[in-house]
A and B are shown apart, each in its own frame.
Chain A
Amino acid sequence: MSKIKFTLNGKVVFYEGDPLRRLVDVLREGFQLTGTKEGCGEGECGACSVLKNGKLVTSCIIPVGAIDGDDIVTIEGLRETPQGQCLVESFAEGGAVQCGFCIPGMVMAAQALLLVNPHPTEEDVRVAISGNICRCTGYDLIVESILLASRKGEGLW
């Protein structure tokens, strides 16, 4: 048993248990943050993406023991912010969502990009979501929606 302290969506939280438990399981089952999805379980599809200290990472391959002292933001935490609202509205307006399973990861990838590059090109966006797989949309509407968010959210990032 290990006690791990980290910041989750702006609040300091503690986890006590197996340090090798996957972060995605701790988020979904321990903190009921089910917006983070598990797709492949191998870090390849990006559905479980969260921000760790501002960097996009796949929570299905990170043991919770490796995030001691870190800052984790999930889709639930992002949704409550003006940036998150802008992304959600832009994804809806741009028709980016079909089945929706990949969307939390896509939104997190968009946020990670816009935090460092508020005015991305289409290529920048495609690189930023290159680790996120969508089986429905063909990506174009997602890319356009992220570009839309960067325009609508001028000054937010």
Chain B
Amino acid sequence: MVIHHPKTPLEAVMLKKEKEDALYLAGGTEDLRLNGPMGENTELIDINGLVPSTIEKGEDGKLKIGALVTLQELVESDLVPEYLKSACRFCASFEKRNAATIGGNVGARRDDSYLIAALAAAGVSFMSITPHGEELKKVSEYANSDCKRLIEYFIIDPATKGYVHRFGITANTHAAVIAAKVGDSYALSVKGSALVCGDTPDIYKKVEYKDTLEGSAEYKKYLASTVFTLKEAK
């Protein structure tokens, strides 16, 4: 195996384009890759230091959260909204949060990512590097695509309020359904299905439910169809 050390984000993206099976190396999502399909010829592209690892508040009041900010740094930040901290706490234990990054988590595009549901409900976009230069992309669009852009930083409104709920068969199993509401927007991440977003609780109707190890299609449909209405009835 080989590690490439590109000097610029664009160089990293061009390498990724050239070597389709290459993987970005940074942060702490490597456990996913170690368990994933990797051959002896897998090449790695080290992006440490190429994308931001800080949380900054801009003049417009919006937060710029670097892709290499760890989940624990998000939990500890006074700037980050509570729903996002809650999603980070769901993601992993303390040690894992010290290594896992927001960019890595979103970049993995798992259908049981707590962060993707939360960020999608909040309508968050991120700045990315593509072979054609910098480009804004919505998390909700990215989650359901297979584009290979490099995430640079997320743009988040710190004033937004919301919640994230996870449902799984046990505390230790992967989630069957993740439901997030931020402001007046909803997002549902259902294991085995695409992420859906919308402005009404009936977004569950847009999901094509599938049986997976995390639960039957009917089980997940029941959860998705009741979570928002029950929460709001409280």
Interface residue ranges, A against B (CB under 8 Å): 1-2, 18-20, 22, 42-44, 46, 49, 52, 55-58, 61-63, 65-66, 68, 109, 127-128, 130-132
> How many whole Å from A61's CB to the nearest CB in chain B?
3
Whether A44 contacts B93 in the complex (CB less than 8 A), given A2-B3, A61-B31, A61-B34, comes out as yes
Chain A residues near B1 (CB-CB < 8 A)? 1-2, 18-20, 65
Whether A56 contacts B26 in the complex (CB less than 8 A), given A42-B31, A68-B46, comes out as no
Write the B88-100 contact mask toward A (1 if CB under 8 angstroms, else 0). 0000111110110
Tell me how many residue pairs across A and B have CB atoms closer than 8 Å: 85
28 contacts between A and B (CB under 8 A): A1-B2, A2-B3, A19-B1, A19-B3, A43-B31, A43-B93, A43-B95, A44-B96, A44-B172, A52-B98, A52-B99, A55-B72, A55-B98, A56-B98, A58-B96, A61-B34, A61-B96, A61-B99, A63-B30, A65-B3, A65-B25, A65-B46, A66-B25, A66-B26, A66-B27, A66-B48, A109-B95, A131-B96
Write the B1-21 contact mask toward A (1 if CB under 8 angstroms, else 0). 111000000000000000000
Which B residue sits closest to A129, measured CB to CB? B94
> How many whole Å from A32's CB to the nearest CB in chain B?
23
| Interchain CA distance A102-B206 in the complex, whole Å | 46
Partner of A56, one of B38, B48, B94, B172: B94
Chain B residues near A132 (CB-CB < 8 A)? 95
Chain B residues 53 to 109 lying within 8 A of chain A, measured CB to CB, are 70, 72, 92-96, 98-99
Q: Is the interface of B mostly helix, strand, loop or mixed?
A: mixed
Partner of A20, one of B38, B96, B99: B38
| Interchain CA distance A128-B95 in the complex, whole Å | 9
> How many whole Å from B138's CB to the nearest CB in chain A?
29
Q: 9 smallest A-B Cβ distances: which pairs?
A: A131-B93, A61-B31, A131-B94, A131-B95, A55-B98, A58-B95, A57-B99, A2-B3, A63-B30
Partner of A62, one of B30, B38, B42, B72: B30
Chain A residues near B34 (CB-CB < 8 A)? 20, 22, 61, 63
Interchain CB contact under 8 A, B95 and A49: yes
Interchain CB contact under 8 A, A19 and B44: yes
Interchain CB contact under 8 A, A57 and B26: no
- B201 at the A/B interface (Cβ < 8 Å)? no
